[in-house]
Amino acid sequence: MSPPSATTSAPPLPRTARLRTSDLIGVGLLGLRGRPLRAILSGLGIAIGIAAMVAVLGVGAASQAQLLDKIASLGTNLLTVEPGQNLVGQNPPLPDEVVDMVKRIPPVRSATATGTVKGATVRRTNKIDPRESQGIEVAAARLDLLDTLGGKLAGGTWLNQATARYPAVVLGATTARLLGAEPGQQVFISGQWFTVVGVLEPLDLAPEINTSALVGWDAATGRLGFDGHPTRVYTRSVDESVDAVRAVLARTANPQDPSAVKVSRPSDALTAQLAAKNTFNSLLIGLGAVSLLVGGVGVANTMIISVLERRQEIGLRRALGARRRQILLQFLTEAVALSVLGGLAGAAIGLAGVTVYATFQGWPTVIPATGIAGGVTASIAIGAIAGLYPAMRAGRLPPTEALTTG
């Protein structure tokens, strides 16, 4: 048998097998299964950050939906007119006929008024010091006040043509609580006993009514010395014409001195409250993002320790033909898997918290789908960034050095 020719080429080396996606995921999860406690603690930072973001977004969305429903039910077409300070520093009263003048504005659907009874006090009994008024205001009220404000009675009845002329009073929600009075009982107003005929539910668009004791216009004039000047006018107009009505309301209410008229829109306070909540939610989301970054640092630290502990495993795989790219993808997959699991757990915790809190508050449960998707995506990005350096370090590790490391 003749020796082989020197020109005969050596047999080709076997091709390195490619790491399939399923194998890559399995190998990546192997490190997590081998050290479950460390994986849980590392993913806890990610979970807390995602849970905080989902909870803040969910609670904020539920609160916003509740507030929007509240604004829609109360209406944004309520405008109030009050005496203001004119250009020379005076506070002239509104004209007696201001309600009839305002009603002449075509888009205005209804208008009514209340008038403060100056010097009048309301007490539970005549044994209480008159100076202890507790901030309660005695006001004359027109009969159509409740309809214009969209108010409801918590008990009793509203003033009518008969009771408006006699010593009868309707108490605001806060006034009734402060006095401890109910329909059928009596309260002492400026030296006279008045019978409580009704108690109102809280009025969000007219909080001043909540702390008032309302008597009929005729009773206030004849029994309490009311001067007859309206101090606050409430108007309801067509929704599409609110701004137009607001623009002419001051000139209509007091043609001789429009600068002395203050016009406001009560629903603006609720809208400002909504904006304030959105600002506060942004702050909490920022805090959740900081927690998420801290969780990413924890993942990076865990992966660096994992690379140091598994140097021999890395060396053995490299000696058996694994490429640097495969080692890099293995540890990168492990870091991403750790972050994804933490993100999913955080999203579940946050969603559960949102559901429980919204149910407890009686708010509509709003699932923050954008927040959940964004949170999980952020956790994937954090995991990839946090695991990139440890994975590159593992991929660059020489097989001989790794195998000789004790």
pLDDT, tens digit, 9 for 90 and up, residues 105-141: 999 999 999 999 998 999 988 888 777 777 899 999 9
Give residue 8's pLDDT band: very low, low, confident or very high (50, 70, 90): low
pLDDT digit string (tens) for 280-319? 666 666 766 776 777 777 777 777 877 777 777 777 877 7
pLDDT digit string (tens) for 230-257? 999 999 998 888 889 989 999 999 888 8
Does pLDDT of 392 surpass 70? Answer: yes
Q: CA 237 to CA 243: how far, in whole Å?
A: 10
CA pseudo-torsion sign 125, 216, 163, 155: negative
Q: CA 302 to CA 341: how far, in whole Å?
A: 15
Report, as an integer, the average pLDDT of 2-13. Answer: 56
**Strand boundaries in 238-386, DSSP class E:** 261-264
**Amino acid present at 301:** N
Residues facing 237 on adjacent strands:
108
Residue 16 has which token pair? Answer: 């390195």
Question: Which of 155, 189, 192 has its CA nearest to residue 173?
Answer: 155
Give residue 336's pLDDT band: very low, low, confident or very high (50, 70, 90): confident
Q: CA 343 to CA 325: how far, in whole Å?
A: 26
Chain centroid to Cα 13, Å, comes to 65
Q: CA 84 to CA 55: how far, in whole Å?
A: 44
Give residue 166's pLDDT band: very low, low, confident or very high (50, 70, 90): very high
Question: Which of 299, 291, 165, 148 has its CA nearest to residue 221?
Answer: 165
Q: What is the predicted pLDDT for the residue at 272?
A: 62
More confident residue, 159 or 48: 159
Report which DSSP code applies to 93. P
Q: What is the predicted pLDDT for the residue at 125?
A: 87
Q: CA 169 to CA 141: how far, in whole Å?
A: 10
DSSP codes joined into one string, 327-369: HHHHHHHHHHHHHHHHHHHHHHHHHHHHHHHHHHHTPPP---H
Inter-residue contact 264 to 110 (CB < 8 Å): no
Give residue 220's pLDDT band: very low, low, confident or very high (50, 70, 90): very high
